Amino acid sequence: MTNFNRSTLPDSVRSNGATPNPWWANAVVYQIYPRSFQDSNGDGIGDLKGITSRLDYLADLGVDVLWLSPVYKSPQDDNGYDISDYQDIDPLFGTLEDMDELLAEAHKRGLKIVMDLVVNHTSDEHAWFQASRDKNDPHADWYWWRPAKPGHEPGAPGAEPNQWGSYFGGSAWEYDPKRGEYFFHQYSKKQPDLNWENPEVRKAVYKMMNWWMDRGIDGFRMDVITQISKTVDKNGRLPGEDGSEIADLPVGEEGYSSPFPFCSNGPRLDEFLAEMRREVFEGREGYINVGEAPGVTPDRNEFITDPAHKELDMLFLFDHVGIDQEGSKWNTVPFEVKNLRASLAAQQEAVRNAGWASLFFCNHDQPRVVSRWGNDSDRGSRELSAKAFGMLLHMHRGTPYIYEGEELGMTNAHFTKLEQYRDLEALNGYRQRVEEAKCQSSESMMAALALIGRDNARTPMQWDASKYAGFTAPDAPVEPWISVNPNHVEINAAEEFDDPESVYTFYKKLIAMRHNSATIAAGEWHLLAADDEQVYAFTRVDGDDTILVAVNLTDRSAALPSDVAELLSDGVNESQVLLSTYDAMHSVKSIAHGELARWEGVVIQL
C-alpha cells in the first residue's frame, strides 16, 4: 500500500460512515488525459513515459491519486473510451512495461494510480463483439442484439428495433449484415453496449479487473457505470420494441426518442455493483473505486456510496454541470449562482449521514470552468475567477478532483472553425442538429461548442511558453493531435511554479488545507445565504472548530449576505484569514466595508 506524506484523518471525525475512516477521506485526485498531457516521443500524442517524466511536478503539487483516462488498446474512435483489448496498452501510449514503470515510479512518490474502466460498452473491434456477430457463438448474447422491426427490410430506414437515438447523434441501433440484426449503442456506433444481464459478461469483466488490481493499480474510475442495467419488461424486451410492455418516450427534435431514462440507474444496478465489490475488491486494501453516474440523484448517491451497502466509494453526479443547459446539451443558458448552489447543496445534504461526495467542475468531458462560469477575458479576471471556483469546490465536504491544467487556470480553446475540433460528439452533434435535423443554427451551435464542447478540455497541457507549450519538443516532426491554446505563452506551469500569487500556488494551498484540516476534509457542512444572487457561503464545523467560506462568484462587487455579516459582526483580523483569492489584508478591508470585491473568496477561522 502506498504511503502518503500527509496526516491521516482521525476517526473522531466522521467521513463516509465507515470505521476506521478510509484513506481517501482527505485525499485529492488529479485527472490526466494521457493523449494531451506529455508527449515523450514526438508523435504529437501524449504517452505513459511522458506521464512518468512529470511525476515530480504532480508530487510537488501535493495530490494523492492520479486518474488516467483510458490507455488500453483502442481504435480511438472516442479517444480510447472504445476499448478493443482491456489487457493491453495502446501503442499510441506505450507498452505494458511502460505502465509497470509508471506504477512503480508513482508509488515511490506516494502517488496512487487509478485507471479509467469502460465496461458499459466495448469497441466493435473487441474480440467479444466480433465473436458475438455469430448467433451460434458462446458470445452471441454478450451484447444487445435485436432483429429488424416486423414487416421491415433489415437494414432499411425505419427497421430499427425502436426509435432510440444515440447521445452522439443518429440512431442508437446499427445494422450488422453478418449477423443480420441490429446492435444497441448509447454512444458511438463503434461502442456497442455490453449485455450485463448475461452472467458470463460479468464474470469476464471481474476477471479482467482482478488482473489489473493484481498488477498493482490502486483502483478504477468507471465510465458511465450507472448505465450497465437496462429497463426491460418481463420478457426481456426493451421499451418501444415490438411486443414490449413498456412504452417508449416521444420522439424529440432530432428525430429520435431518448434511451437515457431506461438505461440509467436501472433496476439491477445495485445488484451488479455489489457483486463487483465482492468479486474484485473484497479483501483488498488501499484501493478506491469511483463511478461516473449518469441519471443518479443525490439521494441515490447516498445509498450507493454508503459503505454499509458495499457498492462504490463515490460517484460523479452531473446535475451541477447541467445548470447552464436547457433541453439539449447544446442549448446553453446563462450561469446563475443560485442554480449552482442548489445543485451542490443537494449533493452535500444527501451525504450528511452516510456516503461521500465527489467534487469537480472540470474533466475530459467538461469545458474549462474559468471560461464557462468565470471570466477569462484578461489576466486579472482569469486568475481571480479561477481561484474563486477553486476555493468554492475544495472547501466543500468530499473528495476534490483536479483536471489537468485546472491548477494553472487553463482556459477553453476558443476555436472558431468546425475543422479545429476533433471530438466525435461535437462533430456528430453539429451534423445531426445543423445539417440533418436543422433544429439549430450554425452560429448557435458553434457558440455552444466554443462554450461547452469537450475539446476545450483536451488541448495540450501548458508546461511552458515554447512552440508547443512543452507538451512536445518545439522541433518535433509532428504537430500535436489537437492545437495548443495560443495563450500558453502567458498561462503555463513554468511561469506559475515559483509565483506566490499564481493559480498554481493557490491550488497547492487548497490541497495542503485539506490534508491538514479535519474540519475542511470531513467536518459538517452548513449552507448560508441560500438565496443570495452573488455570494455562495457556508460553514465547515468540527466540534468547536468553525470555518466560514464565502465566495463572490460574479464580476462585480457584492454586499455581504446578512447571515454572513452576522457571523463576522465582531470584525475579522488578518490572522483569521486562512485563504483569500486576493490577500488577507484585502479581505479584512472588504469585510469591514460589508462587501466582497469581484471574484473575492475568503476562508475565515471563526
Would you state the pLDDT for residue 1? 40
Does the residue 553 lie in any domain?
Answer: yes
Does the residue 170 lie in any domain?
Answer: yes
What is the pLDDT averaged over residues 474-502? Answer: 96
Residue 499 scores a pLDDT above 80 = yes
Give 21-74 pLDDT, tens digit per residue.
999 999 999 999 999 999 999 999 999 999 999 999 999 999 999 999 999 999
Does the residue 178 lie in any domain?
Answer: yes
Give the mean pLDDT of the chain: 96
Please give the single-letter amino acid code of residue 283.
Answer: G
* Angle in degrees, CA 198, 203, 207, rounded to 5: 155
What percentage of the chain has pLDDT greater than the value 70? 99
Give 156-210 pLDDT, tens digit per residue.
999 999 999 999 989 999 999 999 999 999 999 999 999 999 999 999 999 999 9
Q: 445 and 574, same structural domain? A: no
Burial code (b: 16+ CB inside 10 Å, e: under 16) for 14-48 equals: bbbbbeebbbbbbbbbbbbbbbbbbbbeeebbbbb
Residue 575 belongs to a domain with what CATH number?
2.60.40.1180
CB 227 within 8 A of CB 295: yes
What is the pLDDT averaged over residues 570-592? Answer: 97
Residue 3 scores a pLDDT above 70 = no
Q: What is the DSSP letter of 19?
A: S
In three-state secondary structure terms, 268 is coil
pTM for the full predicted model: 0.96
Q: Whole-angstrom Cα distance, residue 590 to residue 606?
A: 17
Please give the single-letter amino acid code of residue 159.
Answer: A
Please give the single-letter amino acid code of residue 545.
Answer: D
Would you state the pLDDT for residue 5? 62
Residue 156 belongs to a domain with what CATH number?
3.90.400.10
With 0-12 / 13-18 / 19 or more C-beta atoms within 10 angstroms meaning exposed / middle / buried, residue 206 is middle
Burial code (b: 16+ CB inside 10 Å, e: under 16) for 579-601 equals: bbbbebebbbebbeeebbbbbbb
Would you state the pLDDT for residue 327? 84
What is the pLDDT averaged over residues 97-120? Answer: 97
Q: Whole-angstrom Cα distance, residue 392 to residue 388?
A: 6
Cis, bond preceding 20 (omega within 30 deg of 0): yes
Q: What is the DSSP letter of 434?
A: I
Does the residue 238 lie in any domain?
Answer: yes
Number of domains the chain contains: 3
CA torsion sign for 109, 581, 16, 277 is: negative
Does the residue 2 lie in any domain?
Answer: no
Q: 536 and 441, same structural domain? A: no
Give 230-275 pLDDT, tens digit per residue.
999 999 999 999 999 999 999 998 899 999 999 999 999 999 999 9
* Angle in degrees, CA 515, 361, 167, rounded to 5: 140
Looking at 208, 243, 264, the residue that finishes a domain is: 264
Looking at 455, 473, 503, the residue that finishes a domain is: 455
Residue 4 scores a pLDDT above 70 = no
Does the residue 568 lie in any domain?
Answer: yes
Q: 536 and 439, same structural domain? A: no
- 98, 116, 292, 495: the catalytic one is 292
Within 10 Å of residue 451's Cβ, how many Cβ atoms? 17
Looking at 264, 287, 316, the residue that finishes a domain is: 264
Q: Is 275 a catalytic residue?
A: no
Its domain, for residue 434, covers 418-455
Does the residue 466 lie in any domain?
Answer: no
Give 144-157 pLDDT, tens digit per residue.
999 999 999 999 99
> In terms of Cα–Cα distance, which of 474, 479, 425, 478 is closest to 454?
425
Does the residue 147 lie in any domain?
Answer: yes
Output the nine-digit C-alpha cell for 236. 426481456
Would you state the pLDDT for residue 375? 98
Q: Whole-angstrom Cα distance, residue 34 to residue 189?
A: 24
Q: Is 245 a catalytic residue?
A: no
Q: Whole-angstrom Cα distance, residue 321 to residue 454?
A: 13
What is the pLDDT averaged over residues 362-387? Answer: 97
- 90, 223, 376, 600: the catalytic one is 223
Distances in Å between the Cα of 69 and the Cα atoms of 15, 318, 345 are 27, 18, 28
pLDDT tier for residue 353 given thresholds of 50, 70 and 90: very high
